[in-house]
Structure 1
Amino acid sequence: MTSVIPGARSPEQARANAAAAGLPPLPGTTLEAVGDLYDRRIRAQVHHRW
């Protein structure tokens, strides 16, 4: 799962956003929880847009 964080308004914010790519992956249980939340609360509102 990926997500873009738009709106960096300074070089420092852009560097911080890019540095996040170096963080370790989220645990599988966290990814499952995010997927479940998306399916239950968000999918119906946005998924048809793509």
Structure 2
Amino acid sequence: MESDASCAPAYTSDLSEVIDTYQSDYWLYGHTHFPVDVIEGKTRIMSIRPV
């Protein structure tokens, strides 16, 4: 199956400008198929998955 980049905006959003501007301690989000735990500036970005 080929990847179709034209549908990517339906599944992702580039919010790096918002994160960089406000520098929250945490940015938490859900519905992922793999764990994410990274630090961007002063913000820890984490995917929240059910156990």
Higher-Rg structure is: 1
- Normalising by structure 2, we get a TM-score of 0.24
- TM-score between both structures, scaled by the size of structure 1: 0.25
Higher strand share: 2
Q: Which is helix-richer, 1 or 2?
A: 1
